[in-house]
Amino acid sequence: MRSPVLYLKNFVVVGIKKIRYMSRFSAGMIQTFDKLHVEIHGSGRVKLGSFNQNRGNLYLVADGGELIIGDHCFFNTGTCITATEQIIIGDNCKIGNNVVIVDHDHNFKNDGEKEFISSKIEIGQGTWIGANVTILRGTKIGPNAVIGAGSVVKGVIPEGGKVIQKRV
């Protein structure tokens, strides 16, 4: 069982973020975050459900985009999620150490257009994502999928799908 002091600390931390970012940040009142880092730029928004927790640093960045996280999600140490368009993570997801989720790429062609190319990411409820996974723009992961450690994911993963990338 978590300490009442931890719940009080998280109540204060979430409250401060609500004051700082006003309507651009919303969160259920019960969170157990340790070292939560939130950055919201421009028209960005972060919306967290209830009963989420992390172990160690969790970076949530809404750089003009929208980041929506459901209820009862767990994020292990070093997870970094950056939205310039939209990232949606469903309820009851478990995310391992050092996971990176980004809905954009740099426009490396540098053809005078936008600096970033972006497209929405959706991660279905009950999905398990192993350590050191990178999820790229335009990815849609169905509910109850399993993404094995070290995988790089781009595209559509069906409901209950499994992604395991073996390296020799």
Q: Any idea which of 1-10, 68-77, 108-117 has the lowest mean pLDDT?
A: 1-10
Q: How confident is the model at residue 111 (pLDDT cuts 50, 70, 90)?
A: low
The number of CA neighbours under 13 Å toward the Cβ of 57 is: 9
Which residues, other chains included, contact 137 with Cβ-Cβ below 8 Å and sequence gap of 6+? 85, 102, 103, 104, 105, 117, 118, 119, 120, 121, 154
Q: Any idea which of 22-31, 40-49, 72-81 has the lowest mean pLDDT?
A: 22-31
- Nearest Cα to Cα of residue 69 among 42, 55, 44, 51: 51
For residue 61, how far is the Cα from the chain centroid?
A: 9
pLDDT of residue 132: 97
Between 115 and 38, whose confidence is greater? 38
- For residue 136 the two structure tokens come to 């790229």
Q: Any idea which of 18-27, 59-68, 92-101 has the lowest mean pLDDT?
A: 18-27
Mean pLDDT for the chain overall = 89
pTM comes to 0.88
